[in-house]
Amino acid sequence: MAPAYLNAADEVAVARFLAGRLRFTDIPRLLAAVLEQAPTQETGWEELRAADREARALAADWRP
């Protein structure tokens, strides 16, 4: 599940950076904060899609 969280959070972080809403140096902090909340169990496709949505929401709401 962690790779799905990392990928989704990274996409949101880069979009926020490009929009001027996140400093470049905050990207690793955002990714770490989102990864801390990633579930550890292995699951199927639907759970991966849900994980992607959850990670995007967490990344969008993250504040330094």
Domains identified in the chain and CATH numbers: 2-61 (1.10.1740.10)
Number of Cβ within 10 Å of residue 47's Cβ equals 14
CB 58 within 8 A of CB 34: yes
Ranges in the chain, pLDDT < 70: none
Mind listing the pLDDT tens digit for each residue in 42-58?
A: 789 999 999 999 999 99
State residue 18's pLDDT score.
98
pTM comes to: 0.84
State residue 41's pLDDT score.
83
